[in-house]
Chains A and B, each alone.
Chain A
Amino acid sequence: SQQGEEDPQALSIQEGENATMNCSYKTSINNLQWYRQNSGRGLVHLILIRSNEREKHSGRLRVTLDTSKKSSSLLITASRAADTASYFCATGQGGSEKLVFGKGMKLTVNP
Chain B
Amino acid sequence: DSGVTQTPKHLITATGQRVTLRCSPRSGDLSVYWYQQSLDQGLQFLIQYYNGEERAKGNILERFSAQQFPDLHSELNLSSLELGDSALYFCASKSDEETQYFGPGTRLTVL
Binding site for B on A (CB under 8 A): 1-2, 30-31, 33, 35, 40-45, 48, 50, 88, 90, 92, 94-104
CA distance A90 to B2 in the complex (A): 18
Interface of B, helix, strand, loop or mixed by DSSP = strand
Q: Check: B68 CB closer than 8 A to any chain A CB.
A: no
Binding site for A on B (CB under 8 A): 2, 31, 33, 35, 41-45, 48, 55-56, 58-59, 88, 90, 92, 94, 98-105, 107
Return chain A residues, CB-CB under 8 Å to B103: 42
CA distance A88 to B55 in the complex (A): 24
Partner of A98, one of B2, B41, B58: B58
Return chain A residues, CB-CB under 8 Å to B94: 97
Let me know if B98 and A48 touch, CB within 8 A.
yes
Return chain B residues, CB-CB under 8 Å to A45: 2, 99-102
In the complex where A41-B105, A42-B90, A96-B56 touch, is A2 in contact with B42 (Cβ < 8 A)?
yes
Closest CB in chain A relative to B26 CB, distance in Å: 12
Let me know if B56 and A88 touch, CB within 8 A.
no
Let me know if B98 and A100 touch, CB within 8 A.
no
CA distance A41 to B56 in the complex (A): 25
CA distance A94 to B94 in the complex (A): 15
Partner of B98, one of A40, A41, A97, A103: A97
